Amino acid sequence: MPASRLRTGTRLVRRRLRAAPLHLLATLGTVTGLAKRAERTISRACAGCLFEQVDQISPSEVAIVPGAYVSPDGTPSDMLADRLAAALALHRAGLVTRVLISGGPAEVDGMRTWLARHGVTDVLEDPGGLRTWTTMQRAAEVLGEVATVVCTQRFHLPRALFLARAGGLHAVGLVADARRYGGEHYNASREACASMRAVLDVAWARGRSRA
């Protein structure tokens, strides 16, 4: 077997193994009704606040870009590059003055370099945003009540916006999809699990604040 086919087969096996627990958890969420309840909760929280086009966005202060995969050479993945491009479009249109980038240290480095290459230098960095919930909580601590725009993909945006608002941000969302992305089934299962966890995270945080 050629080496290239062997590598492709190995990646496929690893991807399926990684996805298997998520598919199982997503199925359990569907059977128990938790997934549907989480979906309804998130949909209600972000109704009317998700936008497809830059010209639908009102002037705001900050665009928030949650992190995603960055290659070892620092190049953002297609998904992350499109999130950055959405923030860049807002910046060039004069609809935001700053961009907040959040993720792991390597993700933040790659995002900063990408933005600087495209002329955006007024950047806030959060190298500790390892989860969407953490990103939004930390952003709220730094930004306070300024108007923000969350830039991410359609499958991720409702949860991200739900968490942004739960964290205390005055946020709307801009869909960053500029192409088709691979791994649709994996992303759907992952998002179903993450949505259930998001609702529980917010409920837990609110319960602690009342205690």
pTM of the model: 0.85
- pLDDT tier at 140, thresholds 50, 70, 90: very high
- pLDDT tier at 207, thresholds 50, 70, 90: confident
Tens digit of each residue's pLDDT (9 = 90 or more) over 86-116:
999 999 999 999 999 999 999 999 999 999 9
d(CA 105, CA 172) in angstroms, rounded, equals 26
How large is the average pLDDT for residues 13-42?
63
Structure-model confidence comparison of residues 67 and 4, the more confident one: 67
Domain residue ranges of the chain, discontinuous segments joined by +: 61-79+87-164
Predicted local confidence at residue 97, as pLDDT:
97
Burial of 160 (0-12, 13-18, 19+ CB in 10 A): buried
Tens digit of each residue's pLDDT (9 = 90 or more) over 172-198:
999 999 999 988 888 888 888 899 899
Using alpha carbons, select from 100, 111, 98 the residue that is nearest to residue 69: 111
Predicted local confidence at residue 92, as pLDDT:
98
How large is the average pLDDT for residues 56-69?
97
Q: What are phi and psi of 63, to 5 degrees?
A: -95, 135
- pLDDT tier at 209, thresholds 50, 70, 90: confident
Q: Tell me the torsion sign for CA atoms 166, 171, 173, 174.
A: negative
**Sheet strand arrangement including 147-152:** 50-51, 170-175, 147-152, 62-66, 98-102, 123-126
d(CA 21, CA 194) in angstroms, rounded, equals 13
> Residue written as tokens 């998520």?
22
Whole-number mean pLDDT of the chain?
A: 87
What contacts 81, CB < 8 A, 6 or more positions away?
114
How large is the average pLDDT for residues 24-30?
55
Q: Are 61 and 169 in contact, with CB atoms under 8 Å apart?
A: no
* DSSP letters for 73-103: TSPBPHHHHHHHHHHHHHHHTTS-SEEEEES
Q: Long-range pairs for 21-24 at CB < 8 Å and ≥24 separation?
A: 22/186, 22/189, 22/190, 22/193, 23/185, 23/189
d(CA 168, CA 141) in angstroms, rounded, equals 9
Predicted local confidence at residue 44, as pLDDT:
94
Tens digit of each residue's pLDDT (9 = 90 or more) over 43-53:
999 999 999 99
- pLDDT tier at 22, thresholds 50, 70, 90: very low
Q: Which CATH class is domain 61-79+87-164?
A: alpha beta
144: left (phi over 0), alpha (psi -120 to 50) or beta: left
Predicted local confidence at residue 192, as pLDDT:
87
